[in-house]
Chains A and B, each alone.
Chain A
Amino acid sequence: AQSVTQLDSHVSVSEGTPVLLRCNYSSSYSPSLFWYVQHPNKGLQLLLKYTSAATLVKGINGFEAEFKKSETSFHLTKPSAHMSDAAEYFCVVRMDSNYQLIWGAGTKLIIKP
């Protein structure tokens, strides 16, 4: 059965420093993986997705994620944090057999000035 684990419930970084949000997944087959962002009082926005093409995926707002099959990881990174990046980030895996999305618990990113 598929599952997804976000290793940190909160991550706090200073503005201008790198961001790393960690995600591990469990899947029997080659998964589709996504990162979504949810800003306070706003809807969910797709940041990026991996669907068996390039293992390094570039998304919006300078974020990228690398699919590492050997480590079953799909960590989200950004070289330099901006105050506007403060939000909740969700790692998501799509079920192999159907459309269902399995959601991680979320990581709250806090940006310190």
Chain B
Amino acid sequence: SAVISQKPSRDICQRGTSLTIQCQVDSQVTMMFWYRQQPGQSLTLIATANQGSEATYESGFVIDKFPISRPNLTFSTLTVSNMSPEDSSIYLCSVGQGGVLDEQYFGPGTRLTVT
């Protein structure tokens, strides 16, 4: 399985600022995903990032708020823009492996607190 790292592991930010989260994979992968896990809740998919194309956002998430980059097959970033306390969550990246993309492997997550 792929080994995925995220930076930072946690951060405390002031409202109105932005934070960029990095996701690095130890192998080339076609699809990378960004999720949000709000306190005490399950995971919600924010967007899917394919290398060389624009990210595809899920309902309720927009590019202006969560811009994503995918410059190559092993790296992606998610920016949380103009943060508010409601953005306090764990942000996780994951990758799909294999031809059918059945399994997803997850990074350790970035715990964001907005004050």
Contacts and interface: CB of A to CB of B under 8 A. Distances in A.
Contacts of B96: 99
A34 interface: yes
B48 to A, nearest CB: 7
B11 to A, nearest CB: 15
A42 to B, nearest CB: 7
A105 B41 contact: yes
A100 B47 CA distance: 10
Contacts, number: 41
B101 A103 contact: no
Contacts of B106: 36, 43-45
Interface residues of A, number: 19
Tell me the dominant secondary structure on chain B's binding face. Answer: strand
A101 B94 CA distance: 11
B96 to A, nearest CB: 6
A105 B108 contact: no
Interface of B: 1, 31, 41-45, 48, 92, 94, 96, 100-109
23 contacts: A32-B102, A34-B103, A36-B106, A43-B106, A43-B108, A43-B109, A44-B43, A44-B92, A44-B94, A44-B106, A45-B106, A49-B102, A49-B103, A51-B100, A94-B102, A99-B31, A99-B96, A99-B101, A101-B45, A101-B104, A103-B43, A103-B44, A106-B41
Q: Across chains A and B, which 6 residue pairs bring their CB atoms closest together, nearest first?
A: A44-B106, A43-B108, A103-B42, A99-B101, A103-B43, A105-B42
